[in-house]
Homo-oligomer: A and B are copies of this chain.
């Protein structure tokens, strides 16, 4: 599964072929297929394995931070670290950005799964933003959904900046945008 996630992050979930995966793992195609039944089931399992890694790398490190703005900032910082350093797990960059544009114009279980995960994470970001408003750490007229929407865009830009342009200052660019979106960090 780990190798499947790595392959899919580079080639996409459609480019994750049974033959390629089997060769890389030193197995037969039928052997790989036996574990999943169909290619679509393999793709779904790969997406779920990637999602578990994302949760571990981005959500979990922020779990102990105080709900609201502190936790939102912790999530955003872990998210930058994920983009910059998860090269062994996701050598081709964020699997969910790739999967989103790969399936956003099709029907089926893959599209539904990608939309479900992306929607879930968007709502979780909005939840923290809402708590931040309630605590008085963000202005009263802040729209939590708007914050979540802009954050997602910021991290898709970060993924492009790292993968397509190989920009070394990508993380700092994102932090500057976060300062503008969430207010400057306390340490500034």
Contact = CB atoms under 8 A, between A and B. Distances in A.
Contacts of A163: 101, 104-105
A164 to B, nearest CB: 4
Interface size, A (range): 35 or more
A122 B54 CA distance: 29
Interface stretch (A18-26, A42-50, A92-100): A92-100
Contacts of A93: 101, 104-105
Given A154-B153, A156-B157, A173-B146, A104 B118 contact: no
Question: Copies of this chain, how many?
Answer: 2
A157 B117 CA distance: 15
A152 B14 CA distance: 26
Interface in A134-172: 143, 145-146, 149-150, 152-161, 163-165
Interface of A: 9-12, 14-15, 91-93, 97-98, 100-106, 111, 114-115, 118-119, 143, 145-146, 149-150, 152-161, 163-165, 173, 176-177, 180
| A-B interface, 3 closest residue pairs, ranked by CB to CB distance from nearest | A153-B157, A92-B105, A104-B163
9 contacts: A12-B12, A12-B102, A93-B104, A98-B101, A143-B176, A146-B177, A149-B177, A152-B157, A156-B157
